[in-house]
Amino acid sequence: MDATAAAPAASLNSLRKDVKVIGLVATAHMVSHFYYLVLPPLMPLIKAELGISYEALGYALTMFNLVSMLTQTPVGFLIDRFGARPLLIAGLMLGGLATVMGAFAQSYWLLLAMMAFVGLANCVYHPADYSILSSSIAPGRMGRAFGAHNFAGYVGFAAAPPLMLLTASLWDWRGAMVFAGLLGIAIGLLIWSQAEALHYDRAAPVPAGKAGPSFAGAGLLTSMPILLAFSFYVCTSIGTSGIMSFSVVALQAVHGTPLEFGTAALSGFLAAAAGGVAIGGILADRTRHHDRIAAVGLLSTATMLCAISWFYPGHVLIVAVMTCAGFLHGAINPSRDMLVRSITPPGQSGKVFGFVTTGSNLGGIVAPPILGRILDHGDAHWIFWISAAFLLLAVFARPRRRDTAGA
């Protein structure tokens, strides 16, 4: 075979390999987001059987997020040391087994322990996924890989409530949790059977004199580019939390928006964000100016949120504006991930992505109670203003691209 014939064949093989890797990693990420919403749809059934309050069940969700946040960065170090593939499979298996065990809980404390173990399993996904994608995917398809990864997370969010309600209607809440646990175990076994396709880099010393950070460990995580990336995740998480948690109530309080239109506006925001992620992945592969894409998307979204607070164009148009804001916000996600990759030294993806993505957990823990208190005791306009303010802060916190090998 001559060189001209071999080139298309090699390109096709590379595409097939990348599609396989993206499919496997995105499926694991879908399971991660699915587990975020396993418990909420089942809360009324669990409350009735175990005789516990919604507040207690809320602490179970806090346990999940807190354990995941505290362990994600240390696990990122382990991933860089021992490899992403075995720890990703272990996370899927642990999350599945813990969820199955939770189905047999006879007390609140056993349920709380189950959520702690599911949170521990959840800490693996982001550092492992990004380590595998950064090491396995051709640079020209990296943006689309990150886009598919984020899109799969939205699919997991969307699929969990109806599937949990359906399985609970068939087998009660315990059967639904067994189903959710077996789903994670099945995906873990699938990835184990295809593990040879998943490549990953391990941390290695950076040669002296190389441009950019030449250190690893805690020194790398406290460098200015990485701290900016962490701040970026915190700010965008707080901005998004306000919309996801309280926009329906705030629209009703500020403009008298009927519940069905407020809910439709939030659904439009979330659905369009998933579509924006897909388009943003294509765009991220066609430009090197990822910081500009992030800035434009954040500024546009913040402007729309302020406009919603100040002006009311009517029930239908408010849904359209929120949908547009969601699309623009989702479109920045692949560029955000490309920016973090560009400032990450080779072999350090696990710890860097593990650390910066804890910013999302921190924002998700801090923002809801503060915004909820503001809604209880203040002007509901502040929900939109604070969300917009943190999105604007994210513009200044966004990391700037630094070329790395293979970036």
Let me know whether 180 and 315 are in one domain: no
User: At residue 404, does pLDDT exceed 50?
Assistant: no
Co-location of 298 and 244 in the same domain: yes
Same domain, 258 and 169: no
Same domain, 84 and 183: yes
Q: Is residue 146 part of a domain?
A: no
On whether residue 246 sits in a domain, the answer given is yes
Alpha-carbon torsion angle 203, 207, 211, 212, nearest 10:
30
Do 317 and 350 reside in the same domain of the chain? Answer: yes
Given this model, what pLDDT does residue 65 score?
Answer: 82
For residue 9, being part of any structural domain is answered with no
Give CA separation, 63 vs 107, 113, 201, 246, 303, in Å.
16, 9, 31, 22, 35
pLDDT per position as a tens digit, 2-55 = 544 444 544 556 778 888 888 999 999 999 888 988 888 888 888 888 888 877
**Whether residue 227 is found in the same domain as residue 189:** no
Task: Report pLDDT for 11.
Answer: 58
In this predicted structure, the answer to whether residue 213 has a pLDDT above a threshold of 70 is no
Q: Are residues 176 and 50 in the same domain?
A: yes
- For the chain, what is the mean pLDDT? 82
Given pLDDT bands bounded at 50, 70 and 90, which one contains residue 212?
A: very low
Domains: count for the chain: 2
Given this model, what pLDDT does residue 13 score? 63
Q: What is the dihedral of CA 275, 280, 282, 288, to 10 degrees?
A: 180
**What integer pLDDT is reported at residue 407 of this predicted model?**
38
Tell the burial category of 260 from Cβ atoms under 10 Å away from its Cβ (0-12, 13-18, 19+): exposed
Position 406 scores a pLDDT of 39
Range of the domain at 48: 19-140+153-194
| Residue 121 included in any domain | yes
Asked if residue 230 and residue 162 are part of one domain, the reply reads no
* CATH number of the domain encompassing residue 314: 1.20.1250.20
- Whether 335 and 393 map to the same domain: the answer is yes
Shared domain for 248 and 383, answered yes or no, is yes
| pLDDT value for 396 | 87
Assigned domain for 211 exists: no
Domain-located, residue 28: yes
Does residue 105 sit within a domain?
yes
Which element (helix H / strand E) includes 186? Answer: helix 142-193
Confidence bin at 332 (pLDDT 50/70/90)? confident
Do 226 and 129 lie in one domain? The reply is no
Using alpha carbons, select from 145, 115, 106 the residue that is nearest to residue 25.
145
Candidate from 174-178, 226-230, 308-312 with smallest mean pLDDT: 308-312
346 and 228 in one domain? Answer: yes
Residue 113 is assigned to a structural domain of this protein: yes
The larger pLDDT score, comparing residue 378 to residue 83, is at 83
Q: Radius of gyration (Cα) for the chain, nearest Å?
A: 21
